[in-house]
Amino acid sequence: MAYRQVGQASFADALVSRRGKGSSVLRRICELVDWAAVECVLRSLAEPERGAPPYPRLVMFKALLLQQWYGLSDPELEEALDDRASFREFCGFVLGDETPDHTTIWRFREALQQADLEERLFGEILRQIDARGLVLRRGTLIDASLIPAAVKPPKPPKDPLPLGPDGRAPSKLVNSERDADARWTKKGGKRYFGYKAHVGVDQGSAIIRRSKLTDAAVNDTVPADELICGDEKAVYADQAYDKHERRALLAARGIKPRLMFRPQQASSPDRASEALQRRRGTAPRPGRAGLRAPQGRLWLGARSLSGLGTQSDPSASSLPRHEPQTMGNAASNGCCAVTAAPQCRQSAAQTKLSTPARPQKPRKKMPDTGLHPRTPDCAKPSQAGEGAQVLRGYSADLTTRKDSSDERGGG
């Protein structure tokens, strides 16, 4: 079938090409990629049976690449191909060529998807990149990203939905009629509607080696094994990908499993409290015969009672020091909680009387300056005698004034 003839430059195109530099990135891509090998893969695409002559397959494939790189819709891509010189130069259009409309772009993308050529084209581009030595293979970074749907998220229905087969009310998160493949998911307490892109990126070069697109409801760990290439030295992922089977599989293939461990969750409240005590450093030591706090206090009281009771009361039972005393054997030796209460008070009193006083810490001796504590700070040691003389004169003056005042009062 005959295709449209595009790319036949004229004198006007030569003048326009000298006007500006264009896009250096797109020119660099055109120089690095072997487009002849890509066109060989596109030959297996079925030709349209009727209609106007189609555009060359390689030209349409380059247009789809621009749409993906710049995030354009079909109408936006149609407008960009019509008025952007860098886009026209990358696809191979000249000034006199007509560009495809959004309907033609949509039909080519659907035909490419039905022929299942996306993986083959991606593999061909990756093979060319690998042939240039750009893939390092030091490790693979696995992660997933949410992609919102191109349509608005559907609103919950106003009318109540009928009950399901199990008798429960169905979810209010309904699917969209315009995009039947998009699904709902929850991340960080928020709801998202769309898809999820699972990628495996080469460590160091940031080149995507594996990719898979699913709806947003698929868990991150489900397609994780498909993102592992097998020739890398390590695999890096967060705790969402942590599984014992995956770690064992990677170790068997000689790949280091650099996966984040999931947090260990306690199966009961007792284990949770013990874990909290271990973090705080307040957990009981293992050499306490498994005694808890109340039993441990009773055991210490019984041992102190046995050590002091032998001196005051010969009938008091002595407890061996090498055997821990619990509630059961304390009662069998006559030291139960009821009978041991008055004896404990007596032993506490005897312990207080017999315990020697704690030695007091000696106070720090201040250096002797030769001054009275009430001496003003302005008086120096060298002026102690002079200061005392001034004070004596001041006190004599006060006495003289008092005697004179008494004489005036008496007269």
From CA 290, how far away is CA 302, in angstroms rounded? 17
- CA end-to-end span of the chain: 150
Which long-range contacts (C-beta less than 8 Å, at least 24 apart) are formed by 45-52? 45/111, 45/112, 45/115, 45/117, 46/111, 46/115, 47/1, 48/1
Confidence check: pLDDT of 254 > 90? yes
pLDDT band at 273 (very low <50, low <70, confident <90, very high): low
User: Where would I find the H helices in 323-383?
Assistant: 327-332, 340-354
- The first and second tokens of residue 216, run together, are 């947003």
From CA 214, how far away is CA 223, in angstroms rounded? 9
User: Which DSSP letter does residue 208 get?
Assistant: E
From CA 378, how far away is CA 380, in angstroms rounded? 6
Instruction: Using DSSP bridges, classify how beta strands 190-202 and 183-187 pair: parallel, antiparallel or unpaired.
Output: antiparallel
> Residue 12 has what pLDDT?
61
Per-residue pLDDT tens for 359-378?
A: 666 666 666 555 555 545 54
Per-residue pLDDT tens for 72-109?
A: 999 999 999 988 888 988 998 887 788 999 999 999 99
- The first and second tokens of residue 47, run together, are 């030709």
User: Where would I find the H helices in 234-382?
Assistant: 244-252, 269-280, 293-312, 327-332, 340-354
Closest CA to 143 of 239, 251, 231, 232: 239
Name the residue ranges covered by the structural domains of the chain. Answer: 11-124, 136-155+175-259, 295-349
- The first and second tokens of residue 86, run together, are 């860098």
> Residue 85 has what pLDDT?
84
- The first and second tokens of residue 140, run together, are 């693979």
Contact 124, 39 (CB under 8 A): no
Top CATH class, 136-155+175-259: alpha beta
Answer positive or negative: Cα dihedral of 375, 377, 383, 386. negative
From CA 118, how far away is CA 93, in angstroms rounded? 24
From CA 173, how far away is CA 155, in angstroms rounded? 8
> Residue 307 has what pLDDT?
46
- The first and second tokens of residue 93, run together, are 């259009």
From CA 326, how far away is CA 298, in angstroms rounded? 8
From CA 104, how far away is CA 110, in angstroms rounded? 10
Q: How many CB atoms lie within 10 A of CB 140?
A: 25
From CA 29, how far away is CA 65, in angstroms rounded? 11
From CA 374, how far away is CA 16, in angstroms rounded? 103
| Rama region for 171: left / alpha / beta (φ>0; ψ in -120 to 50; rest) | beta
Q: What is the DSSP string of 160-182?
A: PPPP-TTSPPPPS-PPPSS-TT-
From CA 88, how far away is CA 100, in angstroms rounded? 11
Q: How many CB atoms lie within 10 A of CB 344?
A: 18
Widest CA span of the chain, in angstroms? Answer: 150
From CA 193, how far away is CA 330, in angstroms rounded? 68
Closest CA to 34 of 128, 134, 123: 128
Query: Which SS3 state, helix, strand or coil, does residue 195 take?
Result: strand
Per-residue pLDDT tens for 171-226?
A: 778 888 889 899 999 988 899 999 999 999 999 999 999 999 999 999 999 999 99
Confidence check: pLDDT of 331 > 70? no
Q: Which of the pair, 270 or 187, is modelled with greater confidence?
A: 187
Confidence check: pLDDT of 305 > 70? no
**pTM for the full model?**
0.57
Mean pLDDT of 220-236: 93
Instruction: Using DSSP bridges, classify how beta strands 234-237 and 140-148 pair: parallel, antiparallel or unpaired.
Output: parallel
pLDDT band at 386 (very low <50, low <70, confident <90, very high): low
Contact 54, 63 (CB under 8 A): no
From CA 202, how far away is CA 141, in angstroms rounded? 6
How does the average pLDDT of the chain come out, rounded? 75
